[in-house]
Amino acid sequence: MKDTKKGRAEQSEMGLSLEDLIRRGARDLIQKAIEVEVQELLDGYENVKTLRGQRSVVRNGYLPAREVLTSVGNIEVRVPKVRDRSGMGVKFNSALVPPFVRRSPRMSAALPWLYLKGISTGDMREALAVLVGEQAKGLSANVVSRLKAEWAAEYAVWMKRDLSSRRYVYWWADGIHTGLRQEDDAKACLLVIIGVTPDGRKELVTIGDGLRESKESWLDVLRDLAAQGLPSGPLLAVGDGALGFWAALDEVFPETRRQRCWVHKTANVLNTLPKSLQAKAKAGLHEIWMAPTRAQAITAFDHFLKTYGAKYPKAVDKLVKDRDALLAFYDFPAEHWLHLRTTNPIESTFATVRHRTTRTKNCVSRSTFLGLAFKLVQEAEKSWRRIRGVERINELLAGIVFKDGVSVTDDNDQQQRLAA
């Protein structure tokens, strides 16, 4: 019986065309690579636990099967999902092809991503062929140059749009290094702000270039927004403490409150501790920002200082200096906390192009650099979802006060019901 089944399988195998075999091999290769990627992500959060001691970031099945357009035709792959119970907003995006490129075989999605990832100009057509099909190999250098020029022109027009009627509830700000260098300044990075509108939608507010830690670079970015007519900053801005953004924000939009990114802060604190203590310390930091109330967060905060203060003063100093900014999210709706504790919207958008090792020798002009980045975000923006708890935004804009994530009005109503 087994021999019969084996024979049928072999016969079926032989019945496949060479093209089918190649396509199946490519599918298996891509699928295995994606599985390795998701496992690497999970391993990175291995020591982040829930209050019950379970792993916070775990696998959670697969997204619906989707087709990736490759040089050997359409290949169906299944991309794993992860579930994050820590509140950090951890998501899995395959670095092979980011979500907005996988869904879109258009050149407008693939070309900017490849350039910012650091693919050399000489390899560009071969790389495009993998993403958008064999027709990409017929692209001339003139066609590619024209596309880049068009995107740079689109960016220039977009940067002059009228913002007098725009209002933002939240901002995420970060400086992003890619695999590409500017001809004018090799140290320049992308300075990116993503905002939340009153209807809960995320949108790109601005994208410029400069030095990540430079106040002057960020002043240029924020002053451009003011010059475009933006009447005010957001209620709350989220970012890394090392950014020159904060000093610039105080000058241009001083009314905006600050929230430090807990992912960046956790990394900064752990870098000052011995590796043998990092897992325990990470769990201690997790207890702070996952506490349900500010009072409980402060208790966990003080416990961390007491545990590590004597032997590792640099670690606790990094926390103490940003104490208020780390806990600002408690004055905003609990439904929004998931979005406010990290700069995840920017991180996830640029995760697949962020520079991590050595820089490519591939250099471009400033206008091309910004045009490519603008086009990349524009494609990614199409897949962004609204934030949770959209209905709470109107309360914020109406000036209703929130305490521990709950509006004071809601809290008073509950107390009255209990008293009755």
Positive or negative CA dihedral for 59, 261, 169, 216? negative
What does the pLDDT read at residue 329? 98
Shared domain for 317 and 368, answered yes or no, is no
Shared domain for 99 and 179, answered yes or no, is no
What does the pLDDT read at residue 344? 85
221 neighbors 191 (Cβ within 8 angstroms): yes
Amino acid identity, position 329: F
Shared domain for 351 and 306, answered yes or no, is no
Amino acid identity, position 366: R
Name the token pair of 316.
Answer: 């606790």
What are the tens digits of pLDDT across the range 57-106? Answer: 899 999 888 776 655 566 788 889 999 887 777 888 776 556 655 544 55
What does the pLDDT read at residue 346? 84
Which H/E stretch holds residue 16? none
Shared domain for 101 and 234, answered yes or no, is no
Give the end of a domain, one of 113, 147, 181: 147
Query: Helix and strand tally (H, E) in the chain?
Result: 18, 13
Shared domain for 198 and 247, answered yes or no, is yes
* Number of separate domains in the chain: 3
Domain that holds residue 168: 148-259+345-388
Shared domain for 115 and 168, answered yes or no, is no
Give the end of a domain, one of 92, 124, 147: 147
Shared domain for 358 and 281, answered yes or no, is no
**Distance between start and end Cα atoms, the chain:** 76
What does the pLDDT read at residue 392? 96
Q: Look-up: residue for tokens 């926390």?
A: 319
Q: Which residues of the chain are under the pLDDT cut of 50? A: 1-2, 4-15, 103-104, 135, 355-360, 418-420
Strand 57-62 and strand 80-84: pairing? antiparallel
Shared domain for 153 and 242, answered yes or no, is yes
Shared domain for 322 and 296, answered yes or no, is yes
Shared domain for 253 and 360, answered yes or no, is yes
User: Using only C-alpha atoms, what is the Rg of the chain?
Assistant: 24
What does the pLDDT read at residue 359? 45
What does the pLDDT read at residue 228? 97
What does the pLDDT read at residue 140? 57
Shared domain for 15 and 137, answered yes or no, is yes
Give the end of a domain, one of 147, 164, 185: 147
Distances (CA, A) of 19 to 8, 25, 76: 20, 10, 15
What does the pLDDT read at residue 103? 47
What does the pLDDT read at residue 407? 94
Residue 362 DSSP class: -
Shared domain for 143 and 83, answered yes or no, is yes
List all residues 6 or more positions away from 110 whose beta carbon is below 8 Å from its beta carbon. Answer: 101, 104, 128, 131, 132
